[in-house]
Amino acid sequence: MTFSETGVLAAARQCPSPNQDERPATCEINLLVIHGISLPPNEFGGPWIDRFFQNKLPPDAHPYFAEINHLKVSSHLLIRRDGELVQYVPLHQRAWHAGQSCFNGVNGCNDFSIGIELEGSDETPYSEEQYKTLAQTIRLIQRHYPAITDERITGHSDIAPDRKTDPGPAFDWPFLRQLLAETR
């Protein structure tokens, strides 16, 4: 099987999420959405993101978890603070990361996008290791999904501006663009 058939990145730790389904048959994967996540908010490390995407978040472990443990969400990938890459959903499948969203006039970004979460928060700078892993991962994805051009890499806040703020003002878009230019 080829990468496009399995959608699995060999370099990623696999942590399958049940929160996925088939993409519409006529959809071309042509967008990459960058997110930021921390569980609990503004805290890093621990098993909570994995558990959240696997519907195993214990509501009594933190007050915030009681508010969100009923949600059924996922992302294709997560990049932890140390640069570790984790995969929850094969890239050819639809992950449930964008919610109500619109890019260039097209609604329902989950149908045609790949979602990458970065462990972080809107105001906490992301680590250099995260940017390096992100740039390498983007280039790998682009080799298999060439419709995802550099112009079709966006933030969650850009496709859902009334609902979301991530990856936030701490995300260094110029640095990511610099790293992507260096990996051409």
What amino acid positions are annotated as catalytic residues?
117
Give phi and psi for 153, each to the nearest 5: -115, 125
Identify whether the C-beta of residue 143 lies closer than 8 Å to the C-beta of residue 132. no
Q: How far apart are CA 120 and CA 170, in angstroms?
A: 9
Q: In what helix (H) or strand (E) does residue 181 lie, and over which residues does it extend?
A: helix 173-182
**Rg value, the chain, Cα:** 15
